[in-house]
């Protein structure tokens, strides 16, 4: 839209019902502060200027709201005297002369750009106030949107509504757009002659109409306008976000056997023809290319998984894990800051940390890269087409060449050249008959102890 717009985001609440040591809007949805989700919707609407009304944890909230494409100016609300008073905390920014003022809240992380665009379009059509509403089967507690001849004539709070008005199921979300050229005048006319002595933004509808202006309401899905006041509502919002994102991914070509058991992060990227089995959790920073398979009960964070790679079941990929094409990290394996080369296999019960594994290599069960000396991390390099036998410990820093072979049970502390065999274990000794003697001694000791007790 060619019209200029300022978004005023209200995020100064005390968050009392969250029972938390930090501001409500900092609590994460899909691993990201809910205020950042709201900011994304603002930016997608084409709005770059934002006045962020803050209170508790002001610096942290402002930092969380700093997303690409937005210029955020924090303004401090020192008193809590209602929503109208909160918006006027941004008086200086509003006074710069924007065409549109869009008022939103930092605790509605499911909002998309569609209803915000619709509200701005309502202003472009000549209205002074555009309220975003939603239809619900359970309107109890919400202000009702009262409409006549296509115009919004009032927002009636439930306690003040008549029986007929309480039957209305179109409700106020609190989000609205205001004619920017008239905003300060309209906001300045809001009074506090009510039981709480507060200044309510909802009064703008009747104020604008009393001055000859027009007000309308636009509709949005109830889910998008879900607000958060406590931990139970936070969990409900997380569930809704996950459902929405799973659906988007499946429509885009991702297969999920039991989607309700897969948990995604806000930035999870998954390509077409990826198969995700049940009970998989994605932390931040995961990219999965087409054709990969993620088996059940895997936990993946900060990892890049290339085309045709296989993970799990019961695998953990930590930040810095990179799996090349057709590689495999199998059951009960952990990879951190490790590059697994094309076609390489880390099949089971193995830890790979701070390591580079060449293409085609095989890492046997129980192998450990001993990367930490108690102070610093060190690198292990394994060449192409090498074989690391089961139960081997590779003490970094160490390099193993192309085509090398490490015998099972070895402790490797020295570099292994290309095509070499390395053995780092004690020589086996066999004592014929000694097992029988040990067993007889143990049985005799046990019998003696039993006799002493009796």
Distance CA 161, CA 146 (A): 10
**Catalytic annotation present for 304:** no
User: Residue 246: helix, strand or coil by DSSP?
Assistant: helix
Distance CA 243, CA 37 (A): 16
Buried b (16+ CB within 10 A) or exposed e, 305-314: bbbbbbbbbb
Distance CA 439, CA 452 (A): 20
DSSP 297: T
For 131, the enclosing helix (H) or strand (E) is strand 129-135
The answer to whether the CB of 77 falls within 8 A of the CB of 100 is no
Residue holding tokens 């809704």?
Answer: 240
Among the listed residues 85, 295, 304, 348, the single catalytic one is: 348
Is residue 196 within 8 A of residue 119, CB to CB? The reply is no
Say how far apart CA 411 and CA 55 lie, in whole Å.
Answer: 57
HSE-up (13 A, CA, CB side) for residue 56 = 13
* Pairing mode, strands 28-29 and 398-400: unpaired
For the annotated catalytic residues, the residue numbers are: 348
């Amino acid at each position: 839209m060619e019209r200029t717009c300022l978004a005023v985001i209200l995020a100064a609440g005390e968050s009392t019902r969250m029972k938390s040591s930090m501001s409500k809007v900092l609590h994460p949805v899909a691993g990201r502060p809910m205020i950042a989700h709201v900011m994304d919707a603002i930016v997608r609407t084409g709005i770059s200027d934002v006045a962020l009304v803050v209170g508790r944890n002001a610096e942290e909230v402002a930092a969380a709201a700093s997303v690409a494409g937005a210029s955020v100016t924090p303004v401090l609300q020192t008193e809590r005297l209602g929503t109208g008073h909160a918006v006027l905390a941004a008086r200086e920014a509003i006074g710069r002369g924007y065409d549109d003022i869009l008022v939103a809240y930092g605790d509605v992380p499911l909002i998309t750009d569609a209803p915000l665009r619709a509200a701005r379009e309502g202003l472009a059509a000549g209205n002074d106030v555009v309220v975003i509403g939603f239809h619900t089967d359970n309107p109890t507690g919400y202000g009702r949107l009262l409409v006549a001849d296509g115009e919004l004539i009032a927002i009636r709070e439930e306690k003040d509504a008549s029986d007929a008005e309480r039957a209305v199921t179109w409700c106020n979300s609190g989000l609205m757009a205001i004619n920017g050229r008239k905003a300060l005048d309209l906001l300045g006319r809001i009074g506090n002659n009510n039981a709480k002595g507060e200044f309510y933004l909802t009064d703008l509808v009747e104020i604008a109409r009393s001055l000859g202006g027009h007000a309308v309401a636009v509709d949005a899905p109830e889910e998008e306008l879900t607000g958060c006041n406590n931990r139970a509502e936070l969990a409900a919002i997380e569930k809704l976000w996950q459902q929405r994102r799973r659906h988007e991914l499946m429509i885009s070509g991702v297969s999920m056997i039991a989607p309700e058991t897969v948990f995604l992060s806000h930035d999870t990227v998954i390509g077409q023809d990826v198969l995700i089995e049940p009970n998989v959790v994605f932390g931040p920073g995961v990219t999965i290319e087409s054709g990969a398979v993620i088996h059940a009960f895997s936990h993946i964070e900060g990892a890049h998984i290339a085309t045709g790679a296989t993970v799990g079941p019961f695998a953990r990929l930590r930040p810095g894990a990179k799996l090349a094409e057709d590689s495999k990290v199998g059951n009960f394996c952990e990879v951190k800051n490790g590059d697994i080369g094309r076609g390489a296999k880390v099949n089971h019960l193995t830890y790979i940390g701070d390591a580079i594994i060449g293409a085609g290599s095989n890492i046997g069960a129980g192998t450990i890269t001993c990367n930490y000396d108690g102070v610093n991390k060190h690198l292990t390099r394994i060449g192409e087409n090498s074989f690391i036998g089961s139960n081997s410990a590779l003490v970094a820093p160490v390099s193993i060449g192309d085509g090398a072979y490490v015998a099972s049970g070895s402790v490797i502390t020295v570099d292994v050249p290309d095509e070499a065999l390395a053995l780092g274990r004690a020589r086996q000794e066999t004592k014929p008959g000694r097992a029988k003697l040990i067993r007889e001694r143990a049985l005799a000791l046990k019998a003696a102890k039993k006799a002493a007790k009796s």
